[in-house]
């Protein structure tokens, strides 16, 4: 089974190149000023040109305005919008209509009760991304290197493609994919040496580990 591998929070040319050259399917760019991975529009333009069509570009926003998303769409030319805030199913639908792009909605998970929202999002989103629910005092809703109980997703009956994220790294990515049955995996902190500082060797190890797990799942 082929797994979609997304490396998120890329902000420099060399780490972006490491991800694309190692075979990342998706590369993510964070547009959220409170994040150590935030990129401005000028940097986004440069990184977008560098990717070209070698990987799918993902724009990560958190409860962003239409105006900001319009600028991002114009400059980054993303293939997918990742909504990582408290965007409602109606907001997902409206953004899809306004920008004509597929949407991946992040769902924060701590307990089984958090999965109750899935039927509503399954009607409007194109893809679901499961991430750990952040602590109440967190300064950002993701990118914290926190895992959740993957067993909550075992035997999940979801009509949409879904990805697992939250605290995955080269050492646990195979288990995350095996337990959850996810068709993709997304990583940020697990391929960094400090918040926001991606490590090319960790990126390569992560992608190698994810690809190796594909063979075990066939």
Ligand X SMILES: O=C(O)c1ccccc1N[C@@H]1O[C@H](COP(=O)(O)O)[C@@H](O)[C@H]1O
Q: Is 210 in the site for ligand X (CB under 6 A)?
A: no
Q: Any catalytic annotation for residue 149?
A: no
Q: How many residues bind ligand X (CB under 6 A)?
A: 28
Identify the sign of the CA torsion 17, 19, 22, 26. negative
Q: Is 87 in the site for ligand X (CB under 6 A)?
A: no
Q: Which segments within 115-171 are labelled E, that is strand?
A: 127-132, 162-164
Q: Is 187 in the site for ligand X (CB under 6 A)?
A: yes
Q: Is 186 in the site for ligand X (CB under 6 A)?
A: yes
The one among 20, 26, 60, 76 contacting ligand X by CB under 6 A: 60
Q: Any catalytic annotation for residue 131?
A: yes
Task: Measure the CA–CA gap between 97 and 150, rounded to whole angstroms.
Answer: 32
What lies within 8 Å, CB to CB, of 108 at 6+ separation is 114, 131, 132, 133, 134, 141
DSSP state of 38: B
Stretch that binds ligand X, among 97-105, 109-117, 139-147, 173-181 (CB under 6 A): 139-147
What lies within 8 Å, CB to CB, of 46 at 6+ separation is 13
Q: Which residues bind ligand X (CB under 6 A)?
A: 8-9, 28, 30, 32, 35, 37, 60, 62, 84, 129, 131, 140-146, 165-168, 186-190
Residues designated as active site:
8, 131
């Amino acid at each position: 089974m082929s797994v979609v591998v997304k490396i998120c929070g890329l902000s420099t040319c060399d780490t972006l190149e490491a991800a694309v050259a190692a075979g990342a399917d998706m590369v993510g760019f964070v547009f959220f000023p409170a994040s150590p991975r935030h990129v401005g529009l000028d940097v986004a333009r440069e990184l977008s040109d560098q990717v070209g069509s070698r990987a799918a570009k993902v724009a990560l926003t958190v409860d962003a305005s239409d105006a900001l998303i319009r600028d991002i769409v114009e400059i980054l030319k993303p293939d997918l919008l990742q909504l990582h805030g408290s965007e409602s199913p109606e907001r997902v639908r409206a953004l899809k209509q306004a920008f004509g792009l597929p949407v991946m909605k992040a769902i924060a998970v701590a307990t089984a009760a958090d999965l109750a929202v899935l039927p509503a999002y399954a009607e409007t989103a194109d893809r679901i991304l499961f991430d750990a629910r952040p602590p109440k005092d967190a300064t950002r809703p993701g990118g914290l290197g926190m895992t959740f109980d993957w067993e909550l997703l075992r035997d999940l009956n979801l009509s949409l493609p879904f990805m697992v994220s939250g605290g995955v790294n080269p050492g646990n990515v195979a288990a995350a994919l095996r337990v959850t049955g996810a068709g993709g995996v997304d990583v940020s902190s697990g391929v960094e040496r400090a918040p926001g500082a991606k490590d090319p060797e960790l990126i390569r190890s992560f992608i190698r580990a994810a690809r190796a797990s594909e063979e075990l799942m066939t």
